[in-house]
Amino acid sequence: MIHILIAGHDLKFAKHIIDFLKDNKKYKLRIDKWLSHTDHDINKSKELLNWAEIIFCEWGLGNAVWYSNNKTRDQKLIIRMLGQERLSSLPQKIKYNNVNHIIFISPHLRQSLIKIFNIPISKTSIIYNLVDSTHFSKPKRKGSIYNLGIVGVSPKLKRLDLAIEIFNKLWMKNSKYHLYM
């Protein structure tokens, strides 16, 4: 059984990963839930580090800094970067030579962060955020083809301004379009 540790302050995007690992008999899973980007129970983190074979850091922030500085050679460290890292200096403190792999959620983010933090591209891949699409397989109302919805517009790096600009261009072509927020 492989011992996998997931560490991070906000694990909502890792829910599908956590559920998969919990349900799979090949893995034993533990969570190191951090209080913030940098605050954690150091004794708990040390205990979990000693237990883990694979460490998965959700976000490349303080958790990734701590684990990249404290893991052993025989442990694997994987970091998933989601975007908040662009606004932080914490990724500069990660020991990338101790990182086995970095997952980015988009090509643009990978390109941007590789350049900013001088990350070797050979250690990276792109895996988009997972979405349970079964929630969207519902009958559509007549005329719904012109309905657009926006979710997740905070913080401003989500580019609400760009969504509004796209909607305006569509509406100029056809005033049947409606935007729901």
CATH number assigned to the domain comprising residue 47: 3.40.50.2000
Concatenate the DSSP letters of all residues of 92-152 into one string. GGS-GGG--EEEESSHHHHHHHHHHHT--GGGEEE-PPP--GGGG--PPPTTGGGEEE---
Does some domain include residue 11?
Answer: yes
- 95 and 8 in a single domain? The answer is yes
Give the pLDDT confidence score for residue 181 in this predicted structure: 77
Pairing relationship of beta strands 178-180 and 76-81 according to DSSP bridges:
unpaired
Give the pLDDT confidence score for residue 38 in this predicted structure: 94
Q: How many domains does the chain have?
A: 2
- 36 and 119 in a single domain? The answer is yes
Concatenate the DSSP letters of all residues of 81-98 into one string. E-SGGGG-SGGGGS-GGG
- 22 and 94 in a single domain? The answer is yes
- 89 and 155 in a single domain? The answer is no
Q: Which domain holds residue 155?
A: 139-180
- 17 and 101 in a single domain? The answer is yes
- 112 and 156 in a single domain? The answer is no
Does some domain include residue 132?
Answer: no
Does some domain include residue 84?
Answer: yes
Under DSSP, is residue 12 helix (H, G, I), strand (E, B) or coil? helix
33-36: long-range pairs with CB below 8 Å, 24+: 33/8, 33/9, 34/7, 34/8, 34/9, 34/62, 34/63, 35/9, 36/9, 36/62
- 7 and 93 in a single domain? The answer is yes
Pairing relationship of beta strands 147-149 and 54-58 according to DSSP bridges:
unpaired
- 33 pLDDT exceeds 80? yes
What integer is the mean pLDDT of 36-48?
96
- 52 and 75 in a single domain? The answer is yes
Does some domain include residue 134?
Answer: no
- Location of structure tokens 């932080």: 88
115-134 residue pLDDT tens:
999 999 999 999 998 877 78
The answer to whether the beta carbons of residues 2 and 26 sit under 8 Å apart is yes
What integer is the mean pLDDT of 63-79?
98
